[in-house]
Chain A
C-alpha cells in the first residue's frame, strides 16, 4: 500500500501548506498542555490528548501532500494508520494509537469511563508523536516549519 493508492479511497491530494502545518502543530501543542491539567476530568484530558494525536497525524499527511477524505467513515483511522507511510512511525506504536482511537470511540458513543491508564498512555503518546512529527519535518520538510 502506498499513499498514492489511497487517493480517492480514503485520501485526497492537498498541497503541503506551511500555514496549515503551523496551525495544526500549534493546536496540538495546546491540546497536549490541556491534557496535562489534572484538575479536569479524565474523559476531557483523554479527549484533548486524542485530538492532538489526530492533528499530528493530519500534519504528517499534509506534509506529504495529502489529507483524509473527511466525508468517509473512518478518517481518524486512516490518519493514524498511514503514520508508518507518512513519517515512518513503527507499526507497534500505531497499534497503540489505534487502540486509543477505539477507546475514544467507545467513550464518545457509549459513555463508558476512561481509566487513568488510558489517559496517561494517550498523553504520553501524543507527546511522543509531537516529537516524532517535528523531528521528521525538520529532517524532511524543513521549509514547512
Chain B
C-alpha cells in the first residue's frame, strides 16, 4: 500500500521501493524470494528493485543466496538492528496499516481495536495467525467480513475476537484470566490507544 504523509514510516523511509522491500522481507523473515517474486509482491519493477536489493544487502539488512540460477533475498535476522527495524515496520506500514485500513469502514462502531498474541510480541512464526481484538458494537460476522480480504495481503490468517464494551467491562470485573493476560501483554493498536482501553476497565491486581 502507498503510505500517506501522516505515516511515520513514509517519513523515515521516503524511498518507496526500499520501504516495500523491507516490509515484505522483514515481516516475513522465513521467506527467501527471488527478484521477480519480490517485484510481483511489492508492485515494483525488477530493474530498479535490483539496485535497491543490492544496497540493502550491502548494508547487511538482507541475506543473498544463490539457488540454481536464481538469487534469493531474505531478511538478515543476524543484523544488529533487525529486531528494532522489523518492529518499526510492523507497527507502521506493515500489518497494522493493512488491518487499520480494513477496519476503517466500520470505525464508528469500534471503540478500540488492537493486535495481540504472538504477532504483537514479535514472536510470530511462519504459521502464526494474527489475533485481533475488537471492542465495540459491531457483530462477530461483520468483523470477519471486514478482515477476511486482508488475510491475503498480510499472508496470515486473521482471528478476530469481538467484545461489546459491556461484555469487556464484565470480564475485567470478573478478573477473567484471558482478558487480564491480554491487557498485560504487548499490543499494537489499530483504533484507539492504551488510555481509551483503560477507560473501559483497568487491570486489577490478583
Q: Measured between alpha carbons, how far is A92 from B160 in the docked complex, in Å?
A: 16
Q: Contact between B140 and A120 (Cβ–Cβ < 8 Å)?
A: yes
Contact for B163 among A111, A112, A115, CB less than 8 A: A115
Q: Contact between B144 and A113 (Cβ–Cβ < 8 Å)?
A: no
Q: What residues of chain A lie closer than 8 Å to B178, measured between beta carbons? A: 111-113
Q: Is the interface on chain B under 10, 10 to 19, 20 to 34, or 35 or more residues?
A: 10 to 19
Q: Contact between A121 and B145 (Cβ–Cβ < 8 Å)?
A: no
Number of interface residues of A (CB under 8 A): 18
Interface residues of A in 110-133 (CB under 8 A from B): 111-113, 115-118, 120-121, 125
Q: What string of 1s and 0s marks CB contacts (under 8 Å) between A77-120 and chain B? A: 00000000000000010011001101100100001110111101
Contact for A117 among B140, B148, B176, B179, CB less than 8 A: B140
Q: What residues of chain B lie closer than 8 Å to A125, measured between beta carbons? A: 141
Q: Contact between A117 and B159 (Cβ–Cβ < 8 Å)?
A: no
Q: Contact between B162 and A117 (Cβ–Cβ < 8 Å)?
A: yes
Q: Contact between B162 and A115 (Cβ–Cβ < 8 Å)?
A: yes
> 14 A-B contacts, Cβ less than 8 Å apart?
A96-B141, A99-B140, A112-B178, A113-B171, A113-B179, A115-B140, A116-B167, A117-B162, A117-B167, A118-B140, A120-B140, A121-B139, A121-B140, A121-B141
Chain B residues at the A interface, C-beta cutoff of 8 Å: 139-141, 143-145, 148, 157, 159-164, 167, 171, 176, 178-179
